[in-house]
Amino acid sequence: MRIAQISKVFMPLAGSALLLVAASQQARADKFQNCVQSLWPAAKAGGVTRATFDRAFKGVTHDSEVIEQATYQPEYVRPIGEYIDRAVSDKRLETGKQMLADNKELLDKLEARYGVDRHVLVAIWGMESNYGTQPGDKNVIRSLATLICSGTKSKFARPQLVSALKILQRGDISLEAMNGSWAGAMGHTQFIPTTYSAYAVDYDGDGKRDIWGNVPDALASTGSYLKVSKWQTGAAWGYEVKLPKGFNPKKVSEKTLRSLAQWQKAGIVRVDGEAYPRPADKAALFAPEGANGPAFLTLNNFRSLLRYNQANSYALAVGHLSDRLKGGGRFVQPWPTDENHLSLDQRKELQQLLIAQGLMEGEPDGVIGPLTLEAVKTYQRSKGLPVDGFPTFTILKSLRTGS
Ligand code: CA
């Protein structure tokens, strides 16, 4: 058959297929609109006016990127050591020192008002939005509506959406500028709407609590939030410690609180050999890699940081970054290298090989999302390996040799 004949035969089919695609897209859009309208009673009960509601949802569509990002599983990707190394990179440290200098007067005042160490405020700023340079560019109303209507983290997103609509209604920010992460974490501080509503501060007194565009408002909001999270002025977040020989930290719950003096009696001392300045303070033992990696005694302020983000790895990154900004050194004990955790380059190579074998599509980016996990599972199945989707070095080696 010549090309002209092929087109003649297939054109009508292609046309009806297109119609089908268009119809299913329309059906999806209708379904999303119906879902959005079903959110009105909860918004109304929360004090949102119909005018605000209609303005917020005018022309809003489902955002598939939000779902992709929401289902990304970082626990498959980053062992804590790599997470800390990235979070406390040389670049972030250098920029943080510049920020300390550039904002000295403001930080003097914020320390006096909230009692939170400037290095901690700046460390959180660096962790949350890379000092305001990566605040997220997704419209918060759209992201939250997408989460609710797709049933992904819907329980989290429902109260956040009502809170976001109230923020819009009060006029702190315009709809167009109300951007954030896929989860609706907003601005320099990455406050989710309920946290914003409860704790954000209008520090410069212009009537708006502007955590998106105003550094004084943003840093004051962080100070205010830590203060209500029972931050202890002048106290440390914790210390890197040395464990006695043969001590197995995995046998101690991360929730067990003992005084620093009691821990010391058990032979757990600071790596620098210094005494604990406040021996009566209660501390927990945190040794995420067991006896093979750095171990820490974490104090009250570490638990305040967990109010900001409940991951221990996050609080440790903030604590360590703040220490480094103050001039402190790296951890004394190195993180263990685990042959079954892949580096960024190795993850890209793994994806490249999966793509080459036709097991997935796209560009290798080193981010292990649902597509990579599925591809690894398919590969494991084809080789008769246990199917868990976990991208290990063993899998990479097998892909390399084609065995
Ligand atoms: Ca303001």
- Ligand 1 centroid to Cα of residue 184, in Å, is 20
Q: How confident is the model at residue 10 (pLDDT cuts 50, 70, 90)?
A: very low
What pLDDT is recorded for position 310? Answer: 87
Other beta carbons less than 10 A from residue 383's beta carbon: 12
CA angle at residue 208 from 191 to 162, to 5 degrees? Answer: 50
Q: Is residue 185 part of a domain?
A: no
| Predicted pLDDT of residue 2 | 40
In the reported structure, the alpha carbon of residue 231 is separated from the centroid of ligand 1 by a whole-number distance in angstroms of 24
Q: Are residues 299 and 252 in the same domain?
A: yes
* Residue 8: predicted pLDDT: 41
Tell which of 279, 296, 325 closes a domain: 325
Average pLDDT over residues 20-43: 91
pLDDT at 403: 57
310 & 349 share domain: no
User: Distance from the CA of 36 to the center of ligand 1, in angstroms?
Assistant: 31
| 308, 245: one domain | yes
pLDDT of residue 77: 57
**By residue range, what is the domain housing residue 348?**
344-401
Is the residue at 370 inside a domain? yes
The pLDDT of residue 396 is above 80: yes
249 and 292 part of one domain: yes
Give this prediction's pTM. 0.81
Cβ neighbours of 316 (radius 10 Å): 26
Residue 64 forms part of a structural domain = no
- Per-residue pLDDT, averaged over 315-324, amounts to 97
| Calpha distance 334→342 (Å, rounded) | 17
Boundary of a domain, candidates 325, 353, 381:
325
pLDDT of residue 74: 58
Scored b (16 or more CB within 10 A) or e, 339-370 reads: eebbeeeebbbbbebbbeeebbeeebebebbe
- pLDDT band at residue 390, thresholds of 50, 70 and 90? confident
Pair (294, 350) in one structural domain: no
Q: Does 46 map to a domain? A: no
**Does some domain include residue 1?**
no
Average pLDDT over residues 29-58: 97
Separation of 190 CA from ligand 1 center, angstroms? 16
Predicted confidence (pLDDT) at residue 12 exceeds the cutoff of 60: no
Q: Which of residues 76 and 23 earns the better pLDDT score? A: 23
Share of the chain above pLDDT 90, in %: 71
Domain end position, chosen among 290, 325, 360: 325
Domain count, the chain: 2
Whether the pLDDT of residue 66 is over 50: the answer is yes
pLDDT of residue 9: 42
Residue 132 alpha carbon to ligand 1 centre in Å: 16
317 and 353 inside one domain: no
306 shares a domain with 244: yes
The strand ranges marked E within 107-260 are 138-139, 179-180, 238-242, 258-259
Of the segments 72-81, 279-288, 381-390, which one has the largest average pLDDT value? 279-288
Domain identity same for 298 and 358: no
Res. 340 pLDDT band, cuts 50 70 90: low
Please determine, for residue 17, whether its predicted confidence score (pLDDT) is greater than 90: no
Q: CA neighbours within 13 Å on the CB side: how many for 391?
A: 31
The total of other beta-carbon atoms located within 10 Å of residue 271's CB is 16
Structural domain contains residue 137: no
209 Cα to the center of ligand 1, angstroms: 5
User: Within 13 Å and on the Cβ side, how many CA atoms surround 258?
Assistant: 15
Q: Residues 274, 349: one domain? A: no
pLDDT tens-place string over residues 120-173: 999 999 999 999 999 999 999 999 999 999 998 999 999 999 999 999 999 999
Q: Do 262 and 310 belong to one domain?
A: yes
- Higher pLDDT: 69 or 211? It is 211
pLDDT at 4 over 50: no
Q: How confident is the model at residue 335 (pLDDT cuts 50, 70, 90)?
A: confident
Between the CA of 372 and the centroid of ligand 1 the distance, in Å, is 44
- pLDDT value at position 81? 85
Q: Give domain status of residue 63, yes or no.
A: no
Output the CA 69–ligand 1 centroid distance in Å.
31
Answer yes or no: is 96 within a domain: no
Confidence of residue 345 (pLDDT cuts 50, 70, 90): confident
